[in-house]
Structure 1
Amino acid sequence: MGSDIQRALLWILFGLSAFMLYDRWEVYNGRPSFFGAETQQVATTEAPKNEAALPSQSQTASLPAEAKTAVKAEPIQVETDLLKLSFDPEGAVIIGSELRKEKQTIPWTDTGLVGMILGNKAETPADVVLFTEQKGRTYLAQTGLIGGPYPTHKTQFKLVPGPLKMADGQDNLTVKFEGESGGVKVIKSFTFERGHYGIKVSHEVVNNTASEIKPSVYYQLTRDGEKPEGESTMVNAYTGAAVYTDKDKFQKVSFSDIADGDKDFQAKADNGWIAMIQHYFVSAWVPTQGVERENYTNTVGEKLYAVGSIQQMDTIAPNSSKTIEATLYSGPQDQTRLDAIAPGLSLVVDYGWLTFLAKPIYWLLSFLYGIVGNWGWAIVLLTCIVKAILYPLSLAGYRSMAKMKDLGPRMKALKEKYGDDKQRLNMAMMEMYKTEKINPVGGCLPIALQLPVFLALYWVLLASVELRDAPWIFWVTDLAAPDPWFILPILMIITMVIQFKLNPTPPDPVQAKMMAIMPFVFGIMFIFFASGLVLYWLVNNILSIIQQYVVNKQIEADRIKRQSN
């Protein structure tokens, strides 16, 4: 009975690993993942190219056409300690952004042993690019006024003279643009703060007409539906829009939903934000909280999608002005930074269906990282803490396995006695288990308790930008990528072999052979897993070996003591 339980457990673990590998293969071939994180879906629906209508407003207004003019002015370059930005004078639109502290991920097939075998050479990684209007890609941050013939993101703006580069020792940089239409002037100000990706964007609206006006400001993110350039095809991460309000919380709005006109989110609110999400990075508009706004999504061209929010301003008297502010965040999904920008913004970090467990694990990992200053050692400490917490529950399992190993000769004798009579053999084994006070399924408990933590850590490594390119020691330079030299999977195979040696050997030769090859099957599976995940399982195996060895010695000492008496 014990060997049957052990075999079943091994097949469960094998099936789980095989399924996860198969899931990665499905993602690689462009199919959706079983785990629920959506891959980007590129719709073929085309919106009319002459207009991108917004939701119904009291002004019955609409945004201007997305069609580009034949002749464009040179982009205006702005540089801070974290960002290199390009502004289009037409609309004062952000059409380019490079994250100076974030580098493109080097494909793991270009590094280590795989790179040597394939003859690939890793190139110096370029900066991560978010906003862009090059190489057939479109990703823009746009703003403007509606409710009248006012300046929009298609109006020609002029740069207000001033510095465009944050100097050493300078903590803030403000870049201003002016545009006018219909007697209304808009002064857009972009204020950057050293060490922050959040940009304060203000619109000062000057009414130079002879009558009162009551315009609305729109904040819009426009993006094509393609997967981010350089993203691994083995990663199944959500790419698309999102809307957050206090009432409905975090709502994903995929590109296919936008194309189909599905608006399963709260349109009218006085709080929240809108965003475009991709793996590890996010761009989000956070309008002034406590002010009524209307959230919307639209197709604005062929495979071109927009998400935005409209806020109505107070009435502006003739020859007077009013200012409204918002925050534009465009950078890594650093949860500490995001929480400081707006409530709920850290929810863009997608931990899938195990969020309830992954969040605490991420918090604990972050706490440990704050102590040791290395994410790899934080994972090692996390494993030790999890093992310590689960040890009282696992101890019974270790004792059962140790006693079953100690009863190996008696089990073999029973098999020889009853031969192929499975029923009588099982009855005799169960009687022996009862007499020796052994729980035959107790050996499943140590591994079963680790599986939820293992899966949650899998999501933490997949989604947390803090672990992206995070080194451990020597050859492990990215805990979120597979081990380029296969050292961790090999060590894991060795520890699994030792574990199986410590456990009772099934009397059935076929089962014994199957158990002998299992470590190598798992090792091959884990070659494709993030090295941080393999590190967790390796340390867990080492600690399990120590615990099982100690328990085995105790059981053996008890047996010798009984025999001596």
Structure 2
Amino acid sequence: MDMRRLFLFLIFSFSLVILWSEWTHQNEPAISAVEAAKTKDPSIPAEPVRPKEQVSAPAETQKVSVSGNKIVVTTDTFKAEINTAGGNIQRLDLLQHKEASDQSKPLTLLQQRGDHIYIAQSGLLGKGLPTHNAEFSAAGDEFHLAEGQDKLEVRLTAIDTGEAQVTKVYTFHRGSYLIDVGYEIVNKGTVELLPSAYFQLVRDSTPVSGTSKFVPTYTGPAVYTDQEKFKKVEFSDIEKNKVKLPTNPDNGWIGMLQHYFVSAWLPAAKGPREFYAKKLEGNEFSAGVILPVAKIEPGQTGKISATLYAGPAQSKLDDIAPGLGLTVDYGWLTIIATPLFWLLSHIDDWIHNWGVSIILLTVLIKLVFFPLSAASYRSMAKMRLLAPKLEKIKQQYSDDREKLNHAMMDLYKTEKINPLGGCLPMLIQIPVFIALYWAILSSVELRHAPFFGWITDLSATDPYYVLPLIMGISMLVQSKLNPLPPDPLQAKLMQIMPVVFSVVFFFFPAGLVLYSVVNNILSIAQQWYITRGQATATKGGAKA
């Protein structure tokens, strides 16, 4: 078994996984309407169970249209739109990140339009209290974070709340992707109030535009607690009622992930909470958390709040909340990918070019694994020199498979060659290179990061396909250095592999292709050097 056959097997397996994922997505059952919740609007979560004497009736509110007034909030980080119909964030632009298709425009993370919905909602549960459908009023239509201000507060007053006066308060911070969302509840009645607050994200299941089918990334909810750690919640599982969220947690958060970016509701570090995820109308899903509010006596004021993070997914988010850095999805090789990206980012701090940093990191990894690679290439070189003898044996025993295998094993023993010697050292390296692959794919730092010349975005495809073509040529050179498989069919497959890979890599981000090209070129140099030395040594021994 040689590296070409092993590589073909790995690629074939990877392709099967991709095809299966796409087939299951295309053949999902049609979305059926969900049963009506106890409240008239199914987007309002059910009120958590309380002791019998303290339960308040759920709010009987109808879903209202989004025709309220638009409030625009601008900071150095965000341009947000809050609608007075519900007091929800219906649009959120990240001013320091650009759209993939048009870098002259800021990236829109949250939005509500005809074919796509992704919004942040919140409300109160309890008789007469405002849900995310209630009407609010504000002191103005535009708010700006002024020069010298560290934070900006936007206050909305709920209309027609009966015996409670409710104010919804948004607090934006300079240089931050955090938004504090809180409620101030004044009990103007004669009986105590025991409300709950909910904070949710509503999104359709459509992946973010521009995501390649060849490099699929996760889109959907995720939840984290100290006890059960990070857990993705697939949209398909929500629809089939197969979701098992943490029960009775006193910590953790819930959010919504898409490639490079995340939004998450972050309640206080400690305290009771209830997570939920459910199917709404059409293709919409909600994921959120319910927080209890302390008992509010007549004439008293109660407060409750949670923090919304809406921005790039980065490993340093663990400084904001435990486990939030896991929203950078490195897959099952996170334990390897995390230190690799840490090293890559430190190289970039020195070089200030992510493309050059990828090259240098690949060189470092190849140096670390040089002894293993050398052992592999020596074994392959010996196999190449042994090819004429193997071909002779094959012709001699072409009609007897058992004798053929026995003769080949005898030859390996005589020549002291392990036929798997070229594969085993490389197998040890595969997890490292796959981990680096996912680290490059998942890192928002490479989004719109230029390399040089025509490559102005390492997260996008090479516009002129130069790197994929170099990739194909490098694979062709590698195939010439490797011994030909004895099977004619396998030999033909090895010849067309460079062409197939070139076409496939047309759709890969330039950063990933750059990594593969550098890795191939270094492998060619190593293999040529070792093969040449092996051939010289063999000739020298023959002369002696």
State the TM-score, normalizing by the size of structure 2. 0.86
Instruction: Give deviations 1:303-347, integer Å, cap 9, x for gaps.
Output: 3332222222223333332333321111222232x3222111222
**Partner residue of 1:359?**
338
CA distance in 1, matches of 2:108, 2:23: 23
Any conservation in 1 of the 2:47–2:125 contact (CA below 8 Å)?
no
Q: How does 1:24-35 map to 2 (within 5 A)?
A: 24=18, 31-32=24-25
Deviation at 1:502, TM superposition (A): 3.0
**Partner residue of 2:32?**
44
CA distance in 2, matches of 1:417, 1:297: 67
1:153 aligns with 2:149: no
CA distance in 1, matches of 2:11, 2:368: 25
1:191 aligns with 2:187: no
Compared CA separation, residues 352 and 425, structure 1 to 2 (3 A): same
1:346 aligns with 2:325: yes
Instruction: Give deviations 1:96-128, integer Å, cap 9, x for gaps.
Output: 11222223323xxxxxxxxxxxxxxxx666433
Aligned partner of 2:64 among 65, 68, 80: 68
- Name structure 1 gaps, 5 residues minimum: 34-38, 107-122
**Partner residue of 1:490?**
469
CA distance in 2, matches of 1:348, 1:150: 34
Q: Which moved more, 1:531-540 or 1:315-324?
A: 315-324
Match for 2:79: what amino acid?
A: K
Any conservation in 2 of the 1:40–1:226 contact (CA below 8 Å)?
no
The two structures, once aligned, show a CA RMSD in angstroms of 3.3
Instruction: Give deviations 1:349-389, integer Å, cap 9, x for gaps.
Output: 33334434433433333333333333222322232232222
CA distance in 2, matches of 1:235, 1:427: 43
Q: Secondary structure at the match of 2:143?
A: coil
Aligned partner of 1:89 among 84, 105, 116: 84
Q: Which moved more, 1:404-413 or 1:551-560?
A: 404-413
CA distance in 2, matches of 1:344, 1:40: 31
Compared CA separation, residues 315 and 385, structure 1 to 2 (3 A): same
Any conservation in 2 of the 1:18–1:525 contact (CA below 8 Å)?
no
CA distance in 2, matches of 1:205, 1:298: 28
Instruction: Give deviations 1:264-322, integer Å, cap 9, x for gaps.
Output: 01242221112122232222111112121222234443433322222222233333323
Q: How does 1:471-482 map to 2 (within 5 A)?
A: 471-482=450-461
**Partner residue of 2:49?**
57
1:98 aligns with 2:90: no
**Partner residue of 1:80?**
75
Deviation at 1:61, TM superposition (A): 4.1
CA distance in 2, matches of 1:125, 1:46: 41
Any conservation in 1 of the 2:84–2:137 contact (CA below 8 Å)?
yes
CA distance in 2, matches of 1:232, 1:505: 34
Deviation at 1:80, TM superposition (A): 1.3
Q: Secondary structure at the match of 1:130?
A: strand
CA distance in 1, matches of 2:494, 2:41: 65
**Partner residue of 2:434?**
455
Aligned partner of 1:276 among 247, 256, 272: 256
CA distance in 1, matches of 2:398, 2:280: 75
CA distance in 2, matches of 1:11, 1:313: 62
CA distance in 2, matches of 1:125, 1:232: 22
Aligned partner of 1:253 among 192, 216, 233: 233
Aligned partner of 1:296 among 262, 267, 276: 276
Q: Secondary structure at the match of 1:532?
A: helix
Match for 1:82: what amino acid?
A: T
**Partner residue of 1:556?**
535
Deviation at 1:260, TM superposition (A): 4.1
Q: How does 1:103-252 map to 2 (within 5 A)?
A: 103-106=98-101, 126-160=105-139, 164-179=143-158, 181-229=161-209, 231-232=211-212, 236-252=216-232
**Partner residue of 1:400?**
379
CA distance in 2, matches of 1:517, 1:163: 61
Instruction: Give deviations 1:34-90, integer Å, cap 9, x for gaps.
Output: xxxxx9997322343823351443225435545224x83321111112211111113
Q: How does 1:435-450 map to 2 (within 5 A)?
A: 435-450=414-429
Any conservation in 2 of the 1:54–1:296 contact (CA below 8 Å)?
no
Q: Secondary structure at the match of 1:100?
A: strand
Match for 1:51: what amino acid?
A: D
CA distance in 1, matches of 2:543, 2:269: 78
CA distance in 1, matches of 2:13, 2:62: 44
Match for 1:307: what amino acid?
A: A
Any conservation in 2 of the 1:104–1:230 contact (CA below 8 Å)?
no
CA distance in 1, matches of 2:403, 2:204: 68
State the TM-score, normalizing by the size of structure 1. 0.83
Any conservation in 1 of the 2:277–2:286 contact (CA below 8 Å)?
yes
CA distance in 2, matches of 1:497, 1:299: 50
Q: Indicate the structure whose relative CO is greater, using CA pairs within 8 Å and at least 6 residues apart.
A: 1
Any conservation in 2 of the 1:40–1:254 contact (CA below 8 Å)?
no
Match for 2:33: what amino acid?
A: T
